[in-house]
Structure 1
Amino acid sequence: MAFYDVYSHPALIRYRTSVCTRATLSVCVLLCLNVYFTSSGFWLKRSTYEEQIVIQFQYDMIVIRATDTAGSYIAWSTFPNFNRPIRDNLCIPSVSVQEEDRNQDGISDFLVLQISIPLKPEEQMFGIQLHTSCLCQMSTVVMQMLAFVQHSSPVPGSQLFICGDLKLNHTYNISLIDGSSLFASTYDLPNIIRLYQQRNLTTYLSSVIPVWTVGRAVNSPFQISAQINYPVETITYPLYVGSFLETIKFAWIQYVSILLIFLWVFQHIQTFVFQNQVLATTTVAPFKQHSS
């Protein structure tokens, strides 16, 4: 007469021991290891994303040029209240600005700035300070940013070429310089930079390559050529700024991919240890089966 299985269920075997034993200690160790390996990085605290920042040149700038090594200078800015007190040192240049979109996606990729400074025959250029601002638009903030260039040389020059990337360093949409202010401290470059660095979000010129050209012809203007690239930025932000669902999604992925694996591994370790009595315990067998 043939027999076949009509029903089956697992038999539960319990392993008992007192509190202060090696078996209890091993269970606690495995539990702590499970918590350690699965809780590290379980909750996402920071996240990143890439964004092409929309940058628009604001046509606001301050240019200061050292004409000799003794500290004489000439200057100019787009702020009338800055120009009035320095009439004797004022020198008005010609400025050309061009923003280009290489990949035709509607967002400018770099800025080409040309400044031509007229000089007297006896004047020489030994250094330059250039402050200019631009409007940066991101998905979460719109604010005015600063680009600052400074270069000097012991040899008089005829041209300065600068190429660099405008990078995000670290949310207030306020002007960097109050053009209506009559106070000299408003236009003081160290004061502008100090206040700017106190912001939570700033920009700076990275990978700057200056090229100083000597040998200026008589009556020739001093040329400043700058190319400022707008690279794609990697934005890092704390997770509490982001969505709550993003946190739960990452935690669930961690739970399924890591926690369940460690639970399976540690369960098989415990089964081997107690089933083979590697650590002494008292076995409680399941209910006995009644034969008919």
Structure 2
Amino acid sequence: MAILFSEPLLKVYRASAFSCSFIFCWFLFMVAIILPFFLAFSTYDFWKKQETYLEQPKVLYRKEILVMIYTEEEVASNGAIIKSPSTLIFSSMGGVNEMFFSDLSPMLIKSSLLDFNFDNYPDMYEFNITAYTDPIYVKSVKVLTFYDYKIRDRVKLDMVGMAFAEVQTPVGASTVFIDGNLEFRQSQPLKATTIVRNEYDTSVLSQTSSNQNYLPSLFLRYNDRNCTTYYNYQSLVMPKGDDETCTISMKVRIPAHQKFEYTPGFLETMKFAWVQYLCLLIPVGYMIYSFASFVFDNQVLESHVTYETKILK
């Protein structure tokens, strides 16, 4: 036989507004709404309080560099060999050089910026420093460079970052190679706002007070900040060379994908919570619907059953 026409048959269960069946249906409805919320909340991270994302920061060298070279020269005195320690200091800032005038030693400093993919975001800075001292007496090398660090995606931040490298050279150094990444560090997540934060947009290196440039004090002030940069580097020392100079080659690489932690805003928090709630609402609602179907199909609770269909006009 050919099917000429078909329409669904609707099975309807009815009961009075104050019956046990009516109260039972409202109870199941409330359970279907509330239970997914408690299930999602009890599994933690329902309200998203912290999130991370990746961004390439824009890092611009501030033309501020401080080089400290510690030397120990052996001097003969009254038939005995005495070690005479000294510190050679040079900076690209006139004010710093004036503060350390007694230890000032001219050095040749060259810096270059490399942008490998031409996106106007520096990928690496290269420094070549030449100190005019006998390399056999060089015992330690310290280099501090400073940068304008900018991020503009979910978190807006302007700050002054620092790359610090220290290399011990107990047998002297004619050439010191330093290569590493300038990494972002933070103690607390930042708020995701449209306002640019600039509370750390000042250098910790002072050009007016030598006490503030004492390295332990300088690092203490720098590490007290919530957001800082850390130079994660490796070094190689060549103790002997032909020249009577100490050469420092330093590469500071900027990671293309730097991780930042932030506190989500209201809409992002609600979106994440709604997705979790909805993922549990669907299976919980299906189970409750199946349970209610079993109860009324088997007349566990009394109800009036009618069959209805849509009448075509």
By the TM > 0.5 criterion, same fold?
yes
TM alignment of 1:149-228, pairs within 5 A: 149-170=165-186, 171=197, 172=199, 173-179=201-207, 181=208, 183-206=209-232, 208-217=233-242, 219-228=243-252
What is the aligned-residue RMSD (CA, Å)?
A: 3.5
Normalised to the residue count of structure 2, the TM-score between the two structures is: 0.73
The answer to whether the Cα contact below 8 Å between 1:145 and 1:176 also exists between their aligned partners in 2 is: no
Q: How big is each residue's C-alpha offset from its partner over 1:33-84, in whole Å with a ceiling of 9 and x where there is no partner?
A: 6444323333332233221111111111211111127642211123334333
Partner of 1:256: 278
Residues paired across the two proteins, number: 270
1:48 paired to 2:52: yes
Query: 5+ unaligned residues in a row in structure 2: which ranges?
Result: 1-5, 22-28, 73-82, 187-196, 308-313
Deviation sequence 1:206-229 (CA, Å, 0-9, x none) = 2x1110111133x52101111111
Matched AA of 1:284: E
Q: Is the 8 A contact 1:74 1:90 kept in 2?
A: yes
Q: 1:256 to 1:164 in 2, by over 3 A?
A: same
In the alignment, structure 1 residue 113 sits paired with structure 2 residue 91: no
The CA distance in 1 between the partners of 2:32 and 2:267, in whole Å, is 31
List gaps (5 residues or longer) in structure 1: 17-26
Mapped pair 1:283 → 2:301: yes
Greater strand content:
2
| DSSP 3-state at the match of 2:230 | strand
Shift of the 10–105 alpha-carbon distance from structure 1 to 2, 3 Å rule, reads same
- Normalised by the length of structure 1, the TM-score is 0.78
Query: Is 1:38–1:259's contact at 8 Å kept on the other side of the alignment?
Result: no
Shift of 1:253: 2.5
Whole-angstrom CA distance in 2 between matches of 1:55 and 1:6: 67
**3-state SS, counterpart of residue 167 of structure 1:** strand
Cα pair 2:37 2:277 within 8 Å, conserved: no
Q: Report the CA distance between 1:150 and its aligned residue.
A: 0.8
Corresponding residue for residue 94 of structure 1: 108
Call closer, same or farther: CA 1:79–1:30 in 2, change over 3 Å: same
Alignment of 1:114-133 (within 5 A): 114-120=128-134, 124-133=137-146
